[in-house]
């Protein structure tokens, strides 16, 4: 069973292969995504993030989930030597972590229901479990940032997550938090495969902000692989990335 909709202004796709799945099961995950959007959207006036940015809420009034996300952001900033930062000029925007977090938590809703073979995607960031309808690893295409109708690489994944960071679709929304802008002009996109989409997403965001040295950062992370496309259209891969293309 497959369902697609638009949430957070982005395409959301869920496909569950297990025969026992119902429409209600998929609706529960979509309801969770709507909840996350209402809480963390920087575009919704009444979201908790917007209230925080207007200083309508004190830290003592933050929800438990907001506190959890901000703690995860703090940990990620430390793990990436400051390249992941959700505060830009005093404005809170945890989007670089929330999307992957939401996808993974949504997939756990299905996992906890006993489903074993499924696919959850929000705007190209994906979590897969088990096998596809052909009982094979899921085939995931990496988009060409210079031609969005072209797939430049196809990876095969099972029980993994993949996330791509770049400024080519939404315009410039990822910045080097250390104050230099040239790094984010060096590359067009970086795709990261990780143990789950939450981990892949947060490190992909940081790696993109690092520019060309972002692929070196991913290379050093145990359990992660990356595929970077530079502004000159040349690709740079981590040493184990091709293991997922065979």
User: Quick one: average pLDDT of 32-54?
Assistant: 96
pTM score of the predicted model: 0.92
Helix intervals (H) in 56-173: 64-79, 95-112
Q: Which fold has domain 2-244?
A: T-fold (3.10.520)
Q: What is the pLDDT at residue 15?
A: 98
Which one, of 187, 145, 149, 191, lies nearest residue 170 by Cα?
Answer: 145
Query: Which tokens belong to 197?
Result: 């989409």
pLDDT averaged over every residue in the chain: 93
Name the residue ranges covered by the structural domains of the chain: 2-244
Q: What is the pLDDT at residue 171?
A: 41
DSSP string, 107-139: HHHHHHTT--SEEEEETTEEEEES--TTSSPEE
- Which tens digits make up the pLDDT trace of 95-120? 999 999 999 999 999 999 999 999 99
Q: What is the pLDDT at residue 79?
A: 97
Q: What is the pLDDT at residue 170?
A: 45
User: Quick one: average pLDDT of 141-169?
Assistant: 92
Question: Residue 122 — pLDDT band, cuts 50, 70, 90?
Answer: very high
According to DSSP, residue 93 is labeled -
Q: Return the minimum-mean-pLDDT range out of 1-5, 51-55, 125-129, 176-180.
A: 176-180
């Amino acid at each position: 069973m497959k369902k697609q909709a638009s949430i957070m202004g982005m395409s959301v796709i869920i496909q569950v292969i297990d025969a026992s799945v119902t429409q209600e099961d998929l609706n529960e995950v979509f309801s969770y995504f709507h909840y996350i959007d209402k809480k963390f959207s920087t575009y919704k006036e009444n979201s908790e993030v917007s209230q925080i940015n207007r200083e309508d809420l004190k830290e003592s009034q933050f929800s438990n989930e907001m506190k959890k996300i901000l703690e995860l952001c703090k940990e990620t900033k430390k793990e990436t030597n400051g390249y992941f930062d959700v505060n830009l000029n005093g404005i809170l925007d945890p989007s670089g972590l929330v999307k992957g977090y939401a996808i993974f938590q949504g997939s756990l809703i299905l996992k906890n229901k006993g489903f074993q073979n499924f696919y959850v995607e929000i705007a190209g960031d994906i979590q897969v479990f088990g096998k596809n309808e052909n009982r094979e690893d899921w085939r995931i295409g990496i988009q060409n940032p210079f031609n969005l109708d072209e797939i430049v690489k196809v990876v095969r994944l099972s029980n993994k997550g993949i996330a791509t960071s770049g400024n080519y679709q939404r315009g410039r929304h990822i910045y080097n938090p250390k104050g230099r802008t040239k790094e984010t002009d060096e590359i067009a996109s970086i795709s990261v495969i990780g143990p789950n989409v939450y981990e892949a997403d947060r490190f992909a965001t940081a790696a993109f902000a690092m520019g060309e040295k972002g692929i070196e950062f991913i290379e050093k992370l145990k359990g992660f692989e990356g595929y970077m496309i530079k502004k000159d259209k040349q690709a740079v891969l981590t040493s184990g990335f091709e293991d997922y293309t065979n």
